[in-house]
Structures are given as structure tokens and as C-alpha cells.
Structure 1
């Protein structure tokens, strides 16, 4: 898969020297100095911006970093640079020249390229309560030996965020440390396991807690009174840890996640296969066979996978390559070691370094996937990283190419190429967090469990849903079901046989809501007051009644409240300069990733997507740009400075993480999102939903630049017999050379794009516009995009279970306009894209 880079924080302002930065001792105040952002302290998995000021024009310098681990062993990296014409050197913009530890544009190269002076030594953090102290030095020239020292600085790379609680756990047999995020919780819970090294590594658990998870770092041997060796393992010990987490008041249930690396990975698979309460399991270069020790659970015994040390290859350097040592768990008696992961009731994520030389991680992941699917289970997520080795750690840990293997007793090669391995660590860290957020975080928009009991076996019933919008307009839907042999009905597993949808659709009654027969047609059910729940009455009637007809006798009813704002989310109305809108902040102290949210040419303030994003942990600014308060009433022309002020407001907000913000937009809002990421450095990630890659409708101004808006030719509009307008062909052709001045020059953007399109969008040709955007990016050597294209989906792809509206009244034209799409396909697109949008934003905003 393509690798993604983090967006680097800008260096500290040059006007004042930051704490922790200094010129070399004895130099004048005009001497070169190092600028860091954050200035004196940062979290280990966060990027650190490094710049040098006060150099001569195009001056050649060598930068060196040094760090000592807790045993006193020294790690160092160096790189050669040349200052700009202004004497500035910013590692986010200046590539390293050949001759150092790395070359090319690598803003964090001086950290991930750190290498030990002692052979076969790996950087390990045992005491997470103390930071690593990083020393930075700037030397004159590019000589083999350091030249004159020009500047130096120190910086702390910390592991514990302020407010995170570290709680040693000695409950029963459990030997562990629990890390709890700031705030009252409860939090999604994870058990974190490492491999054959034993002891109690805490650094990954600690860093995950910084991101909002309650994480239990669990030892299982060679720690305190636990067994000294790993001869046999009893799963009851791990069951005790699982129950501890499930019963903890600060852990959000109903299930927890497991995260394991190497041997810890196969232990996680065993736990997921035999223990209850596991919802999600992520493995980093793990095995699907039991390795290294006999595994016992009650009356079950799984032998360790066989091995043959003669298959190890030892080079002249004395380093062993052990990739072929383990036997194949598919062959002969070794199949008994294959863990029955098909028994698991959880979702799986396999993180794979394709250059792992500890064992064949990719083979294990593929075979695990095959076995799950052969038993009718969901296909797991597998993320493979070319050039990545065995120890895929949180971001910016230096790659360890070889070190002592505790069980093998010799130095072994772990595999990997440093740059590719670093990029894998950055991406994998985001993938892991997104995976656990998706499967562990209970949200207001989650699927309600709808169950009907007390019916006769096989009884036919019609389920109806009835809701009213803020104006009192009624919406309704219906579906036909039959009770099972016990007289029960479960919408999560039972299929509808007719009505407004068919098949197993747990949320079908919600996404198929449409204006009732007595109401005006073509209305869209959009919540205006996000602070109040949408009340949906679910009714059960005897028999099968067609949509719109009089239903049979009522046999049961219940009310469901659909929330748009979680408890603790704060809504703040804005009047900051010219900016108008509402800022939604998640519960807790933050800071949170910041997102600007915009809709299309309907105008006004639409907040429900922002409030749902805040519920998912984003600081979301719902931004109107016309027809709201003192903003212009109509969209004749737009000034990008308005959106720039909004982006700067959000970026500078103390509750927003930074260094950059994201933008999500639909329709006209999507193309504005593209313009913002193109021209505004504050924006580093843009989600375009059914957008155009050219400016449309209204001219867009920014300083002296103007992007003319493509216009609609009403002569190209067709009208159906029912009076529905189809405007699919009406927009000016963006590929016409005469319209080239309207094209948004997205190739100038340094951030990342997510393009979301419905292939049956009839408002305009959003699939074509996405193709044009991708073509333009690739013509300029850019691959900073992802495309989600959904067959059968229409124009307005909203959060999950938002009622499908194929035709809606257009605010500008005042007539019903075809939006396109088929209800079931559109609903599935909304559900899938919502998860992917959040993963994308978390990946690029942190």
C-alpha cells in the first residue's frame, strides 16, 4: 500500500529563541541557532520540526543528533545540509545531501536514523515516566570529522502525556500496568502484549493511552514472581487480565481490544479464539500458529510449532537469518499448532512487514485470512509494508536491523530498510488506532439492536418507523418480516421480504424513511437541532401491509432516540471576525484533531455532521458561507480569505491538536475544500464528497487571483413527466480548454486528498471530476490521494443511516432535482465511507 507522511509542524517563530535552543557556547547573539517546534518537549510518537537560523547564504553544515538510552548506550545520526539563500535551514523543506545517515527530504530523519554505537543494540524504553533527552548539534561543513560547532540544543522526547495515569496492577496473578487517559472516561480498553523478550514493556501502551485508550501493558513471564522462562503458558492467566479490563469502571465495554507483537501476536490470537469479551484483535508481525511454548487452556493443549535450527543461515558477521527455522503449520503434525482463530468472534487486523526475517509474517497473515473465510468469517484487514522489518514500533523508533535473540542466543537479523521501515511505523500506528476506534468506541450513531418477541412462530408482521422533522413533517418507512420458530424477530439477522427494502438490513427502517403520503414530496430529513434526539417510533403490525396502505392491527411499539451529540460534547456558536458557524468540541481536555465541515449550495448552517464528528473525537467547525446571519444572502462570489480566517481560527484554538487542520465538504463544499487545501498551508487533509475539481457557480477570489465559476446551462436540463429536473449534463464542461481557468490547481497542495463519489450521482459528473483530479495529480508526480467510488450511490453521501433522498427540492432553482442513487446501495456507501473518512482524518491529523 502507499505510505503516508505526517504533516510537519512549522518551526517556532524566528523572533524569539525557544526554550531548549541555543547557539554554541561563547558565540554572539547573532550566531546560528536551532529552532524546534514543539520547543522544549514533545511526545515520542509526534513529529518534531527542526530548523536552523542565522547561517550564511547557502552555507554547508552537518546536523547531528545524539541520545543515550537508560543503560547509557549512545545512539547517533547525522545528515549534511545546505542553507538557503536567506541563511535558513528548515528540515521540512530542505533535503539532506548524500554522505550522512540518510539523504532526501526527511523531516524526522535525524530521529529515525539514530543508530547505536554498540553493535546489536536496540533502543528500548523501560521507564516511561522519564523522557529521552535528545541532543542536537550543528557543525560547519561536510567533513568526515565534525567541523566547528555552530549551535546546539536539547529536547525532551516524552512518553506520558500530561494527565495520563500510570497504575501498577497486582490483582490476583496479574502483573501489569494500566494507563488511563485524562478525563472521567470510560475509555475503549486494550490489552498490549510484546514478544519473547519477557518483562513488562510499557512504552506502546503508554503512547496509546495518550490517544484516548485505556491500555493494560501485560507481562507474562520473566517479571517479578511470574515464571522465569517460557516453557508453557496457561491461558487462564490472560483470561484473568481480560476479565479485569471488562470489569474496570474506566473501560468502556462491552468488549476490549488486543494488540500483540511477535509472540504477543499469537497469544492475542489464542485469547481471541478461546476467551469471551474480545471485540478487536490487532497483530504486528504475529504468527497464526502457537510458537515457543506449550499453550494450555482448561482441557485444551496446543503444542508449539516445530522448528529446525539447522535451517538458520549465519553470515560472516555472525548474524543469523532465522526466517526459515520454523516448520510449516499446514504440513504434517505441525498443523496441531495452528490456532483455531475461526472460533473468534472479533475482527482482526494484521500488520505485516514484508521484509520481516524473524519469521514469515505475511504467510501467517494470508493463511489466517484463508482459514477465517473458509469458516464463513469476515475477511480480516491485512496491511503490508514493503521494506519493513520485524520490530514495527510506534513512530520514530529507530529501526533495529539486528540484535540478540533471547531464545536463539545469538544476534539475528530482523529485516527492514530504515526509511521504508520508518514510513511503515508512521502509517501502522494510525491504522492500529483507527482500527480500535472503529471497533471499540460506542457511538450515538451505532446500530440499535431491534428485537421483537412474543409473536407466533412464522407470524407475518409489518414493521413501521415514523419520525418528524423540526417543522413537524412526518417521515415513515415499512418492511415485511416473519417471526422465527420461537416467535422472535431480530433485525440484525432476519431478512425483510418486502416493503421499502428487502434483505438483512439492521438499519433499513431508518435509512428508508421518506415523506409520508400526506406530506409534500421531495423533502429531506435533516436534523437542525443537534442537541435534541431524533425520536423514531417503531411499530409492529399484523400481516404484510404495502407501503402507503393502511397497516394491520398494532401488536407492539417502542420509541428509539437517535442522538447526534454525545454527552460532554460542547457546542460553541462563533462570531470570530468575519467567521460564523458552530464549533463542536469532544469531551475531555484535548487537544483534538481539527476539521472544518461544509455543505453545498443549500446555504445556511448544517451542523449534524460536525456534531457526529465531535462525538468521534474531532474538534469540528461547522462553517456556513452564505445565507446565515450577516453572511451574504446569495452565493454570487466567494473570497477564500473568509475560509482562511476560519482555518487559522481552528488551527490556533487551544483545544485543536495541530499543526494542520482538515476539511470535509459535500457538493460545492467539496470543491471549496479542494481550494482550501490547494492555497492554504493550514489545511493538510481534504475530504471531497461528490465534488468538482473545478470552481463552480460563483467566482472564487484570493488576493489578486480569481478562479471563475463554471456555470449551469439550463438548456441542457431535462424534465421528467413528474416534473423532476435532471441537471446531470447542465454544468459547463471542465475539460473544455475555454474553461481551463476554472480548474483548481490541486497539484500545489502538500496535504492529502480523500475523494468520495457516488457512481450514480445525477447532480453532476462527480466520478468524472474525481478522475480529472487524479489525472492532474499524477501528471505532477503526486500520489497523495485516495478514491472511494460507490456503485449505486447518489450525490449526497451523509453519515450512516441518514435517510436516502433520491429527489430533493433545490434551494436555488426552487424545483425538485434528481440526486440519483438506489436506496440500499446508497445506504451501504454512507456506512462504509463514514468509517473511511474518520480513518483518513485520524491518519493525517493525528
Structure 2
């Protein structure tokens, strides 16, 4: 049949929504070139192209097939044909002012990899829209405010955000419209060069922005008690000032924002913040004719008491600083790092920094790609309450790195990279938290050189864990694991930026990675070898990196109160924090690694032992919920634990106990269960005059699998098969929020027990 382009969604999608692209009807392994084209509202043409080879079945699925070198990008990039759109005239930005009309995307498939493209084989058209059905766009002219409010569908109340743009002035609505699609009431706020606002203000007044905050909080569809701020460039700087001086600011996301006032004075009541002096002699013109202004402003941190520095230590809001490491307008990465260190030194824990590798200052050359960044960033900082995300244990997603204006040429040429010895570049460079993303790049390779990367880690028992992956460098001799998929033949394949960490396997079978001393780091060894041989070829580069469990300032407090044997981890500072009790499984003893990591994210976390530890029973014949109730009361009486309840995190037997605590005890607000039974197992569980018997255990149903792994998934009776089963935990009594995370290949507890819970209710 003739080739066809299949899209999902088929004809229309949101501009920040993934678009699945498949070409069907090609010849087996046929070489083709795909091209996307888009014309913005000014008539500027943007295009991207990529070279592919169809599979043996004649199908080309961009979610599975990597792009070959020679186009706008290479590697596995399912959305590459959208984020890589480039202007045909240099230095143009994609303009979108009318949010109520779509961008029309043209997709074409050409024969071969030639230049110019070969015969046209297939084409399609797709609309990328900025407003979901039902989202309302409301022009705002209240008092001095000049803005547009976007409201999600429905009559509910929604978290409120004010979106403030940068030095260009005017009114930009694309971010606000995209955020409204995701459930935020968002005000796109102009503050100069718009309607009757000043064209070239000589000073700015925070009272104007305060008026916008009050407008939002008085709106009947904005959920208080505060609002979040999203600012880019000058807008980020103003957002910081609002957080420092105004009330009712709950969270700030800064995109490449200075942390000192710039350009013109900023006034609030009787206070004036002067701008940093501007030295035009330090403006540079790069080889690409792009202007570099990164050195024109003095360092506000070098002069103690600098009056231009925004006093962010006064801010009570949660702060997320997203900084481009290749920003040539503002030294945003440096500013973000410095201010986070200052806040940390003052005992603050209300901040988080997210570097964006190779991201520059401007963010509007592709508002669709940027929309994905903004939406994910806002979900990370979570204006509905930043603390609500982490109890569900969802990791902070990496911010996409494909949003920088790609019309700025690379600073380093392929020639200079290939002429130097290979090096491993890590970000963070030498030390990171154990649950923190680690960006890995190898530079100085030959163009398209084949290499094997290996990671090694030795745990506290001396057991060695390793992972390896095979890669091919790009045409410029660089290998960025965030962009280059691993090839088959290693521990994993595909695009896995963190694969060399999560794929670590013991060299002796059935060993686990042991971490008891959370005050010492794991030391990760990284090596790059020549070729894809077995064993590896010549060693080309190596590096070492520490993965730590405690952020600076987190306190580890042994607890020996009454019967309780535990360790409490407290975040930095003297504030109160949400409380969590972490309960481990059948192994017994005290495991602190999860609790320490949670404390890094702002939770007061108690790692609780309940047997096989110090003077606790070694092999108990029954367990008593009164012991766990004592731990709950201890947490709620602690001066740095924020009530009125605590959350529970339990694994295996610990999850089972957590569910029982939620059913029988007071003041349990949330439970996260990791592979936990929903019935009592092994030994009786007692509370006051009630005894929950364990499920019967049939040892005849233990199986030994081909891999010599023991399968116990059938040894326990199904508690849902016998109505009124006394072993079943009465979860219908629980008032807590429950999150049940279950492994579908769990060989100890049956996944069906968890799915059966919903049927039982």
C-alpha cells in the first residue's frame, strides 16, 4: 500500500501534548526523510527534518526508531520534529499572540536521505492548539491591572498563578493558556509596553503587582490562601521581589531570573531597590554574531550588603530556580547556585535549583516545547501545596533539555572536541543526593565513535555492583546520555539518562545493595572504554562521584523514648515539617536510607524499628499496634512536626502494618504501601482486645524457579475468597489517603491481593 502518516491524537492536540508519529506502508528498511513545517503569525517559516530507516515490517514508529545523523537531530527523540523546529531566517522567534487560533503543522515524508529531499511519499496536517475545550480567556482591566485571565473548565476553584514575562514588555499569553489547560487559574500580567501602561518606565512599583495578587485572591474561582508566581528573566526577578516583600505568595518558579534588581529602580512603599550598575564595555559579540551580555552586570554577591540584592531570605514561599547553564544574558546558573547556598546557610529549606544543560536565556523560540517545561516545573513546585507531591513518592521529573533556542550555534566545534582527550562531564560535578538526577556527558570522542560506559559501586558489605551500556558518539564527538540512546548489548538499551545508575546489578547473584550508615556516601566509579567488545577495550576516561543520603543541614537524631527504637531525620531549620513514619519489612532491624532521603525533601521522618534491633524482640510471636501508636504520639508531640496527623511509608510487612495503623489508629493522614499485603501475615497482630490472625501459610506451595529464585507468591491463602476473613485488614475504616504501589512481578506477595481490594469495596 502507499505510505501513510498516522498521528495520535489524529488531527488536533494541545501544543504541549505529546504527538505520536508513525509512518506505515514503507518498504522493509526503507530510508526516508521526515520534515515538519510551521508558519507563525508573522509569516515566519519554521522547519525541522530527520533521517530514518523503517523496520523490517516497513513501519517507522518515532517512539522506537532513532533518527540517524544528518538532520536537525539524531537519536531516539519521539518529539524531535516538534522541539527542533528552527526559523529559516536566523534569530527569529516563534510568535504566538492569538491563543484562540491553532498553529498548523505540516508533516511530510520524502524518499531517501538526499539533499534536497527525494520524492514526496506522504503528507499530513495537524493542528496544535493552545486552549483546551472549555478553557475561558477573560481580558482583565481592573484598576491599574492590564492582563488576561485563563480559567480551566468548570465552576470549581483552582490554584492561582500569575505569569510575568521579561524585558520585551507587552502581554504574552501562551504560558498562561497552557497552564489553564492543566487546571491552574492563570493571570498573564503585562507591566509595560501594553495599552495605557508606560512604554519605557523609569521605575517599577511593587504595588502594581500587589494589586494583581489581590485581584486573584478576590476572584471567586481562585483557591487561596495564596498564589504562585511564574516569572521569566525580568519577570522572574520581579517574582522574587514579590515573594520577599508581599504577602500571600506560596510558590515561585524562576526561569533564568536574576536574584538582584536590574535596569531600573524597583520601589515598594518607602523602600527603593537600586538596579545593579550596567557596564556596556563588557558586551561581547560572539563568532556567531550573537551578543553576550553575561558579564555586563557586577556580581551582587561580592559586595556584602549590596542594596540591589533581593532579600530572598525573607520569602516564605517555596522557590524553584530553573537556570540555563549556557545563558548569555544573565548568569542565571551562577545566581541560582549562590542564592541557594545563602539560603541553606541561614537554615532555609524552601528552595530547589534545577539546572538545564545547554539552555540559553530566551525561551520563546518554541512555545510548545517550553509549555512542557513550564507545566512540569509547576507540577514539581506544586502550587496546590508542594508537600503533596512527595508523600506519594513521585520523583522530581527531569526538566526537558530540548527547549533552548537552537538558533544559537554551539560554542564548541566538533573539531575542537575531537582533538582533546575524552573526559566525563557530570552535573552535579562531584557530589549529589542519592535520589537526585545525575547528568552524564562524555566529550572529546571521535565523531560517531563507539564506546562502552561502565559504572561500579561497592556497598558497605564489600559487594560489587556494576552496570554497562554501549553508545555511539554524535557527529561532534559528544555523547550526552540525555539525548543518545544506549545500543543493544549492555545492561539496558534505549534512551535512559539514568540507566547506568538504576541498572546496577550485583556481581554475585541475589545480593542486595546495603546502606546502613547514611552519614557516609556511596562512591560511584564511571569508566569509558573503547569499542563494544567483551571484555571492554582500552580505557579512555574515568571519573568518580559521591552519592550522599543527607543534604547539608539535615539532622539525624537517635530516638530511645519509652519503647520506641528509631532514628528521626529533621530537615534544616527551625520550622515545623510534615511528619512521616517509615516502616520496613520482614528483614527486621533499622533501615534509615528512605527516611534520610525524605528529610532532604522537607519531611520530618522517623525510621522505626520493630524487631531484631537492640532490645526489641528478635523473633516476636505477636505484634502490638500500641507500639506503633506510641511512635505516632511521639511524632505529634515533637516541636518540629506539623500536625494534625502523620503519614506512613511502609514496605512489605511494614506496608501491611501501615495499613493496619490507618484502619485502627487516629491521626493517620496518608499511607504509601510498597508491595504490601492487605491482610495480616506470619504472626498475630493485636490492638487492645482485638487479635487479627495471620493468613494460613502453605509451605507446600513454595516453588523454586529456573533461576533458583524462590517463589512464595502462592503460599498465602487468598483473603478475598472467604467472606468475613478475619485476617483481612478492615481498610474501609481508614480515613487516611491510601496509595498502593504494587510490583506486577512480585514473587513474595500476590499483586492480585491489591487489585482485589477495589472489588471488595
- For normalisation by structure 2, the TM-score amounts to 0.55
* Alpha-carbon contact 1:348-1:380 (below 8 Å) kept: yes
> Which residue matches 1:272?
243
Separation in 1, partners of 2:299, 2:645? 51
Separation in 2, partners of 1:834, 1:237? 46
1:64 to 25, 35, 43: 35
> Which residue matches 1:739?
708
> Which residue matches 2:3?
32
Q: Relative to 1, partners in 2 of residues 1:507 and 1:152: Cα closer, same or farther, differing over 3 Å?
A: closer
* Alpha-carbon contact 1:599-1:665 (below 8 Å) kept: no
| CA apart distance, 1:309 | 1.6
| CA apart distance, 1:346 | 1.3
1:308 to 262, 275, 279: 279
Separation in 1, partners of 2:675, 2:343? 40
Q: Relative to 1, partners in 2 of residues 1:57 and 1:665: Cα closer, same or farther, differing over 3 Å?
A: farther
Q: Relative to 1, partners in 2 of residues 1:202 and 1:334: Cα closer, same or farther, differing over 3 Å?
A: farther
Q: Relative to 1, partners in 2 of residues 1:215 and 1:524: Cα closer, same or farther, differing over 3 Å?
A: farther
> Which residue matches 2:675?
667
Is residue 522 of structure 1 aligned with residue 644 of structure 2? no
Q: Relative to 1, partners in 2 of residues 1:509 and 1:388: Cα closer, same or farther, differing over 3 Å?
A: closer
| CA apart distance, 1:385 | 2.0
Is residue 436 of structure 1 aligned with residue 407 of structure 2? no
Query: Secondary structure of 2:47's match?
Result: strand
| CA apart distance, 1:167 | 0.7
Q: How does 1:778-789 map to 2 (within 5 A)?
A: none
Is residue 159 of structure 1 aligned with residue 143 of structure 2? no
| CA apart distance, 1:322 | 1.4
> Which residue matches 2:461?
none
> Which residue matches 2:64?
93
* Alpha-carbon contact 2:175-2:374 (below 8 Å) kept: no
> Which residue matches 2:98?
127
Q: Which runs of 5+ in 2 are unaligned?
A: 393-558, 583-605, 609-621, 638-642, 664-668, 684-691, 714-723, 730-735, 742-761
Separation in 1, partners of 2:132, 2:580? 44
Separation in 1, partners of 2:560, 2:366? 50
Separation in 2, partners of 1:815, 1:153? 56
Q: Relative to 1, partners in 2 of residues 1:72 and 1:334: Cα closer, same or farther, differing over 3 Å?
A: farther
* Alpha-carbon contact 1:328-1:334 (below 8 Å) kept: no
Q: How does 1:789-804 map to 2 (within 5 A)?
A: none
2:112 to 126, 138, 141: 141
| CA apart distance, 1:68 | 0.4
Is residue 249 of structure 1 aligned with residue 220 of structure 2? yes
Separation in 2, partners of 1:506, 1:186? 27
Is residue 73 of structure 1 aligned with residue 175 of structure 2? no
* Alpha-carbon contact 1:288-1:364 (below 8 Å) kept: yes
Q: How does 1:679-758 map to 2 (within 5 A)?
A: 739-740=708-709
Query: Secondary structure of 2:329's match?
Result: coil
* Alpha-carbon contact 1:288-1:339 (below 8 Å) kept: yes
Is residue 294 of structure 1 aligned with residue 294 of structure 2? no
> Which residue matches 1:47?
18
> Which residue matches 1:366?
337
> Which residue matches 2:354?
383
* Alpha-carbon contact 2:163-2:187 (below 8 Å) kept: yes
Separation in 1, partners of 2:579, 2:267? 44
| CA apart distance, 1:339 | 0.8
Query: Secondary structure of 1:335's match?
Result: coil
* Alpha-carbon contact 1:279-1:440 (below 8 Å) kept: no
> Which residue matches 1:318?
289
Q: Relative to 1, partners in 2 of residues 1:510 and 1:47: Cα closer, same or farther, differing over 3 Å?
A: closer
Q: Could you report, residue by residue, the CA deviation over 1:18-49 in whole angstroms, capped at 9, with x for unpaired residues?
A: xxxxxxxxxxxx32111000000011111100
Q: How does 1:561-572 map to 2 (within 5 A)?
A: none
Query: Secondary structure of 1:204's match?
Result: helix
> Which residue matches 1:762?
none
1:216 to 176, 179, 187: 187
* Alpha-carbon contact 2:656-2:676 (below 8 Å) kept: no
Separation in 2, partners of 1:510, 1:97? 50
> Which residue matches 2:196?
225
Instruction: Give the length in aligned residue pairs.
Output: 481
| CA apart distance, 1:300 | 0.5
* Alpha-carbon contact 2:147-2:171 (below 8 Å) kept: yes
Is residue 284 of structure 1 aligned with residue 386 of structure 2? no
Tell me the C-alpha RMSD between the 2 structures.
5.1
> Which residue matches 2:153?
182
| CA apart distance, 1:357 | 1.6
* Alpha-carbon contact 1:327-1:334 (below 8 Å) kept: no
Separation in 2, partners of 1:37, 1:148? 25
| CA apart distance, 1:230 | 3.8
> Which residue matches 2:326?
355
> Which residue matches 1:553?
none
Query: Secondary structure of 2:307's match?
Result: helix
| CA apart distance, 1:162 | 0.7
Is residue 173 of structure 1 aligned with residue 119 of structure 2? no
Q: Relative to 1, partners in 2 of residues 1:366 and 1:110: Cα closer, same or farther, differing over 3 Å?
A: same
Separation in 2, partners of 1:376, 1:397? 38
Q: Which runs of 5+ in 1 are unaligned?
A: 1-29, 399-421, 447-495, 514-519, 527-535, 545-559, 565-596, 610-614, 617-621, 623-663, 671-696, 698-711, 715-722, 745-810, 817-829, 836-846
Query: Secondary structure of 2:222's match?
Result: coil
Q: Could you report, residue by residue, the CA deviation over 1:651-676 in whole angstroms, capped at 9, with x for unpaired residues?
A: xxxxxxxxxxxxx8622579xxxxxx
| CA apart distance, 1:508 | 7.4
Query: Secondary structure of 2:340's match?
Result: helix
Q: Could you report, residue by residue, the CA deviation over 1:530-555 in whole angstroms, capped at 9, with x for unpaired residues?
A: xxxxxx99xx9xxx9xxxxxxxxxxx
* Alpha-carbon contact 2:702-2:712 (below 8 Å) kept: no
Q: Relative to 1, partners in 2 of residues 1:65 and 1:47: Cα closer, same or farther, differing over 3 Å?
A: same
Separation in 2, partners of 1:315, 1:442? 45
